[in-house]
Structure 1
């Protein structure tokens, strides 16, 4: 009767996990998906740092990007990592393409387009300007004069405009070899009276990112204020209200982070600034910075330099900017609470990749490194398992003797453990050690762009995405896509088989309920892990194979355990 109850409980537990897990993982551990690289949007105009969001012109039709780019004079941007242009109308940086990254793994896939001008469906852009009292400042309709036709790392470009009332405005744009654009904003006052003027910068996007904002990966507005990273505000917070959140800081930065991309405003780190995250009209969102106003006497000029990062969240690139003075810039990647552990895992994995040239092979080598470090722990685990097997006759005798007195049984069992110097929990230690390593690798595969679109062998063309071959549709021959929890791929099947073989090597559990759980766990994990990144399954399969090899070797050193396994 008890065996039937155990079987029923095991079946119910399995069903609950299989059907409930997709809903739990969607929030806490989102499985890998093809990267979202396009941002839906419409016509938008930038908000000003001090004002409310202006209404969007809904009557203006969305037009083709190529046509919009030809409508206004532009300065080309050309670097090894950025191709685009600056719109001389409004001095907007509204055309940015990342030629080193593609939307998909297809050979003819277009490059990632991060910025797109107002009036297109992918409107997303940035700019710099001024506010002042009693003076005319440039606005979104101002047409600037450029000192050159192309912005490159070796040729900066200065945009200039005179308001006709004694004030001249200049923005000197320069760019480095990566993704950082500097804007030196200069105001010259040749008028008869003093003026009050302050500089600002903004990043405006027509709609939220297409990347999901989850418990483990923050997507949306973020910033670093007064030495602390802030992930507390997301798009839904601004939609529900309040529609604007303000932050006062000296040093730091603010912007929008996507899964792999970042657009961030970085003021001079010595200056105090006000940063805002705001919801505009319709689906528009904006982050902006505003510096304190400065009184400028007649005949005087001032220059304030702000910067814009627009590009990929490459770990080494972000860390280089952080070393150069941008505080906590690597936190644009949402490493989470365990960044101190995840970053070393990434560093080792990336070094292995650079050495070996294949991320799949690097993951396998990482598994070998982890197992080598854990080898002494595994030895103690198997020694403990052998000792537990040796005292099992005594344990069974106690269970028979005190089967009607649970409290007395527990007391006698503890005395037995102490007398025989065994620890029933020692075998769990390697599992607990594996949990942070597994989670760190999960985050690395999900977050780092270095893993994006990295192939392994044969059909595995992207280790950061799920196994594309599904058994239930005969590897794509049948015209349907199974739901995520039934999309069993070849890697998931290998995971289940390797885990089943590993459990077969273990001694049989005395508790029938535990026997049932261990019997179904490999196939349950096969379903659970199927939607995860292929790289994660490669790690787990390799780890299972190494565990079996290690068990076989250690069984030779503990014959009592080996004998129990052979005779069960």
Structure 2
């Protein structure tokens, strides 16, 4: 083995490849494809589906999707301590939603906008009743029902534990009240249908709820700060699965499940419909006028004359706070997507939040978790550096063997292995510990990128947002300097001029590379390098005392 640095280059290249591959799969460009053949648009522009679009049903039922501009509608505005919501009386849909506790940009004093209906871009939450007698069924009407409401503004006051926003509608003998239930400090909203059959005949309805978002537009992503914008769902068989817009364009989703959920994701935030978790539901998706739709279809319900019933679902729109999401539905917390190393990222995130709870600063928490991780991995680090030092000390003997058997490669291999055995050196001793540390590196990367708790979190001095790049490039430059110092402590043994130049320029390349990374992540790497320098000095000093290491070797 010529040099452990060659292994380091391969390892870093491998890590970069994994990151690129994951980003390309999740956030890469979405090709424009034609809509599925099962979908047709009638003369009014409303979506029509084939009879099997939702799978076998008692009747061919199709929800009517809202137009961007609907006549005679009112907008009901609801304000709580954490939400600002706009509800259209046309269908009782949520057409606007802001998060009062999250700023659009750092120190902007402007609430983060999650949902909106505007020219050229829609992101709304629709829900309704279809079926033989459903007011939202395409077979019954050409437009969504127009609900009646007693007032246009509602506000959850400090002394209220619950705010109910009721909307009323009558249809074919059915008295329908659609209720939105808000509670203080909560991003989940109860959405209930209180239905009373006041006719003399059986009435059949089926509830649905879906999220509708324009496919083109609203995307702001890069390799260094990936932002997935698209669908996701969970079933009783598959707790979490992304369903991108390009997947919706290829085929309509149709999955029966008990419980389940359907969502739209956008980096730190999630919007989701959570139906009755004990009911037999069906998840579906479709494309409607350039807008992706993903939702949940509930079971068919028959109401006898005079019978009353309540259909309850939950709507969530807010930050990806894992504990809160886990309570709402199985797998919804996995929308905090740590990738294939989630089983490592989740304990690391738990430890990070635990530390932050004590120190009260996310930057200090990052420094402390770095010290803990490096301390736990110290035995591997010791093996790595000792192996690199021993291999460097063997360089003269290795060069002698290479000169002796330069024309006989078959004898060179056994001679090298005999030398390693005699000197008690493992040629892979410096590589394996590095490879074992790589999953920690990747897991922490996704923790820092995905955790909403780090969004706009200040550290100190000029670092006032750990989720954003360092505005003064101080951390990337310090990282490059620390990497240069580590190179000085481990002189090069490679003889190839190209490799030597590559290694010399690596600190500069990584400093430039890290300019676009979140400052919290660069802070972790800088502290990790500083600890590695201290560990390297300590290990080499101990080896020199035993006569096992010479920096001039």
Contact kept, 8 Å, 1:169 with 1:186, in 2: the verdict is yes
Question: Separation in 1 of the partners of 2:219 and 2:283?
Answer: 24
1:315 and 1:464, CA in 2 relative to 1: closer, same or farther beyond 3 A?
Answer: same
Query: Shift in Å at residue 78 of structure 1?
Result: 2.9
Q: CA deviation at 1:388?
A: 3.1
User: Equivalents in 1 of 2:104, 2:48: separation in Å?
Assistant: 30
- Which residue of structure 1 aligns with residue 297 of structure 2? 290
Mapping 1:159-238, distance limit 5 Å: 159-163=167-171, 165-176=172-183, 177-208=185-216, 209-212=218-221, 218-238=228-248
Judge conservation of contact 1:151–1:157 (CA < 8 Å) in 2. no
1:509 to 493, 497, 504: 493
Task: Supply the distance in 2 between the matched residues of 1:156 and 1:370 (Cα, whole angstroms).
Answer: 48
How far residue 180 of structure 1 moved from its aligned partner, in angstroms, is 0.8
Assess, with a 3 A threshold, how the Cα gap between structure 1 residues 454 and 55 changes in structure 2: closer, same or farther: closer
Quick one: distance in 2 between partners of 1:25 and 1:293?
45
In the TM superposition, 1:272-283 aligns within 5 A as 272-281=280-289, 283=290
Partner of 2:147: 143
1:41 counterpart residue number? none
- In the alignment, which residue of structure 2 is the partner of 1:474? none
Deviation of residue 26 (structure 1)?
6.2
Distance change in 2, residues 1:102/1:319 (3 Å): same
The answer to whether structure 1 residue 270 and structure 2 residue 291 are counterparts is: no
Question: Does the Cα contact within 8 Å between 2:211 and 2:294 map onto a contact in 1?
Answer: yes
CA distance in 2, matches of 1:535, 1:467: 9
1:502 shift after superposition: 0.5
Equivalent position of 1:402 in the other structure: 405
Q: Is the 8 A contact 2:262 2:273 kept in 1?
A: yes
Deviation at 1:409, TM superposition (A): 0.9
The Cα shift of 1:429 comes to 3.5
Query: Cα distance 1:134–1:97, how it changes in 2: closer, same or farther (>3 A)?
Result: closer
Whether 1:158 aligns to 2:176 is no
Work out whether residues 377 and 430 of structure 1, in 8 Å CA contact, stay in contact via their aligned partners in 2.
Answer: yes
Q: In the alignment, which residue of structure 2 is the partner of 1:101?
A: 102
**Cα gap change, 1:121/1:219 in structure 2, threshold over 3 Å: closer, same or farther?**
closer
Offset at residue 368 of structure 1 (A): 0.7
Note if contact 1:146-1:157 (Cα within 8 Å) is conserved in structure 2.
no
Within the candidate set 252, 258, 261, 2:260 is matched to 252
Deviates more, 1:216-225 or 1:21-30: 21-30
Verify: 1:449 aligned to 2:452, yes or no.
Answer: yes
Among candidates 521, 525, 534, match of residue 536 of structure 1: 521
- Matching of residue 110 in structure 1 with residue 110 in structure 2: yes
- CA positional deviation for 1:371: 1.3
Please report how far the alpha carbon of residue 51 of structure 1 lies from its aligned counterpart in structure 2 after TM superposition.
Answer: 3.4
Is contact 2:147–2:167 with CA below 8 Å preserved after alignment?
A: no
1:300 and 2:284 are equivalent in the alignment: no
State the 1:158 CA deviation: 2.9
Residues 365-416 of structure 1, C-alpha deviation per residue, up to 9 Å, x if partnerless?
1111111112222233333334334444432321221122223111111122
Report deviation, 1:53. 7.8
The question of whether the paired residues in 2 share the 8 Å contact of 1:218 and 1:334 is answered with no
The alpha-carbon deviation at position 442 of structure 1 amounts to 1.4
Is residue 387 of structure 1 aligned with residue 396 of structure 2? no
Q: Deviations over 1:58-101 (max 9, x none)?
A: xx69xxxxxx9xx8545443332212233333212223110111
For 1:318, which of 321, 325, 328 is the aligned residue? Answer: 325
**Equivalent residues in 2 for 1:327-366 (5 A)?**
327-366=330-369
State the secondary structure of the residue aligned to 2:163. coil
Checking the alignment, whether the CA contact within 8 Å between 1:221 and 1:277 is kept in structure 2 is: no
Shift in alpha-carbon separation, 1:442–1:299, aligned structure 2, 3 A: same
2:41 is matched with: none
For residue 134 of structure 1, report the CA deviation from its aligned partner. 5.1
Residues 316 and 247 from structure 1, CA distance in 2 versus in 1: closer, same or farther, beyond 3 angstroms? same
Q: Is the 8 A contact 2:276 2:313 kept in 1?
A: yes
Q: 1:309 to 1:55 in 2, by over 3 A?
A: closer
CA distance in 2: counterparts of 1:290 and 1:319, whole angstroms: 22
Give TM-score, length-normalised by structure 1.
Answer: 0.79
Task: Write the distance in 2 (CA, Å) between the matches of 1:26 and 1:376.
Answer: 30
CA distance in 2, matches of 1:204, 1:556: 63
Task: For residues 435-471 of structure 1, give each alpha carbon's deviation from its aligned partner in whole angstroms, at most 9, with x where no partner exists.
Answer: 21221121122211111112223332322222223xx
Counterpart CA distance in 2 for 1:220 and 1:143 is 30
State whether residues 204 and 300 of structure 2, in contact with CA within 8 Å, keep that contact through their aligned partners in structure 1.
Answer: yes
- Is the Cα contact below 8 Å between 1:315 and 1:448 reproduced in 2? no
SS of equivalent residue, structure 2 residue 264: strand
Distance 1:46 1:333, change over 3 A: farther
For structure 2, the residue ranges without an aligned partner over 5 or more in a row are 28-44, 55-60, 138-142
- 1:524 maps to which residue? 509
**SS of corresponding position for 2:377:** helix
Q: 1:171 to 1:29 in 2, by over 3 A?
A: closer
